[in-house]
Structure formats: structure tokens, C-alpha cells
Amino acid sequence: MTIKCKIDILGALKEAGYSSHRLRNEKLIGESAIQAFRKGRIQGIRTLDVVCGLLQVQPGDILEYVYGEDDHVNDKEH
């Protein structure tokens, strides 16, 4: 995986008043996306959009690209 979460998304959402229970009940974010957060991942552009809206942040505030970890680009020089 080369794109990782820089923050604890569930923790940040909880601080903003959005518990896992509330996210599911209000159908803001599904269970599979919540499980992905627990593994330090984000699932899909829609989930990213919702999280950014709820936390009022930009994608770069919560995600980072980590070079050298399972890169999809081969090692040849470009």
C-alpha cells in the first residue's frame, strides 16, 4: 500500500462528534469503510469526500503517499 492515512480518522471523527455508531446509523459511512479506517486505510473517493466534509479538511491533511512501499511503478529510471 502506498497511500496511507496520516491521522487516526476514527479518532478525529469521534472528536468532531461522529462515533462509529453515528456514522453507521446516519448512513454517512458504511461498515467496510469504518473497518478500513481501523487498518489505517481509506476506502474509495466517496468515503474520502465524506470524511473531508465532516472534518472540514483537504485530502492531503489526512492522506500521504509513501514512496517505496509496494510501488506500482517499476524500478527503471524514467
Question: Is 47:37 a contact under the CB 8 Å cutoff?
Answer: no
pLDDT at residue 31 in the model: 94
The secondary structure element, H or E, covering residue 64 is: strand 63-65
| Between 76 and 5, residue with greater pLDDT | 5
pLDDT at residue 78 in the model: 43
pLDDT at residue 52 in the model: 97
29 DSSP assignment: S
Question: Is 32:43 a contact under the CB 8 Å cutoff?
Answer: yes
The pLDDT tens digits for 7-63 are 999 999 999 999 999 999 999 999 999 999 999 888 899 999 999 999 999 999 999
The residue with cell 466534509 is 53
